[in-house]
Amino acid sequence: MGKGTVYSAIQPSGNLTIGNYVGSIRNWLTMQAEYDCFFAMANMHAITVRQEPAELRRRTLELAALYIACGIDPEKCTLYVQSQVPQHAELAWVLNTVTYVGEMERMTQFKDKSQKHADNINMGLMDYPVLMAADILLYQAEFVPVGQDQTQHVEITRDIAVRFNNRFGETFTVPKALILKQGAKIASLQEPTKKMSKSDENPNASVYLTDDRETIMRKFKRAVTDSGNEIRFAPDEKPGVSNLLTIYASFTGKTAEEAEKEFAGKGYGEFKLAVGEAVADKLAPVQAEQARILRDKAYLGGVLASGAERAYKTARKTLSKVYRKIGFYQGE
């Protein structure tokens, strides 16, 4: 029995946070040994919100270098830029014809982004779940690693795949959500009841993978704690302290309970410094490696070209099958 196929992508818009690292990238490191993985820089999704072109190009390369610096091995998986594989857009157009407007209007992210970008409610913003379905279905992915709050994206992909298969015959693998439990949820340092976000407007709320040691330490010193002085893991009663314990555990390999014992009887100030040090120590070698890879333009370009070529072969096979099923003429 062969390896199952996994598909995942991150938009190269905004800086990635330690939450993205713990919740997504770190999980990919184990997946690349167990599955046939396709990991993409989702730059086509990024333009649903206005982007500065030069910055989008730069961030795309920085994200690719960061993947590799974190341990993603281009020899073990397919690492590529979404826009370099035209079948993503081509399949999305076909899938649009088996997707209903009402389904798109009900998507949570469309509602959220429409409120945040009221001056730019474009069709791409509404249609992005269809492109996301195309991303996944092109590679006949069996599994899509997501957090608990992102299962809606996989559900709509499943609905589209089943509808297409019922209408045109078995064509797509119907994917399953691979719920990521490890590093459950890293919350905002300023509002610990909210998820840490790379688009948070408060600069002290999120710790980015590119933050230098001084910035990391400053953000943790300013992190919101709770009333009282007990360092205890109790998310409902003490969300701020519990979030810091989760971060410390995630970056030291300890459990939250072990971290709790380590800081028993210590003050919040000392605790926050220790969490900051643990994060900064872990990120320093990643940042150094990312910088080295970005300087080696020939290597990085080669990795992405090779990844795009591999992705293209698989995607072309699926799209050719789709075109045949729906009756598109493809030559004799």
26 contacts: CB under 8 Å, gap ≥ 6:
70, 182, 183
Identified catalytic residue from 185, 195, 254, 282: 195
How far is 286 from 294, CA to CA, in rounded Å?
12
Contact 46, 12 (CB under 8 A): yes
Three-class SS state of 219 = helix
How far is 83 from 48, CA to CA, in rounded Å?
14
Pinpoint the alpha helices (H) of the chain: 18-20, 26-34, 43-46, 53-70, 87-96, 101-105, 108-116, 123-138, 151-168, 213-221, 239-252, 256-262, 268-295, 297-326
Length of the chain equals 332
Neighbouring CB atoms inside 10 A of 306's CB total 15
Q: CA torsion sign, 259 to 265 to 268 to 272? A: negative
113 included as an active-site residue: yes
Identified catalytic residue from 185, 198, 317, 325: 198
How far is 118 from 158, CA to CA, in rounded Å?
29
Q: Which long-range contacts (CB under 8 A, 24 or more apart) does 250-256 make?
A: 250/18, 250/22, 250/183, 250/186, 251/18, 251/22, 251/275, 251/278, 251/279, 251/281, 251/282, 252/278
198 included as an active-site residue: yes
Packing angle of the helix pair 297-326, 87-96 (nearest 10 deg)? 30
Structure tokens at 104: 């798109």
* Residue 40 β-bridge partners: 9, 80
Indicate which residues carry an active-site annotation. 113, 195, 198
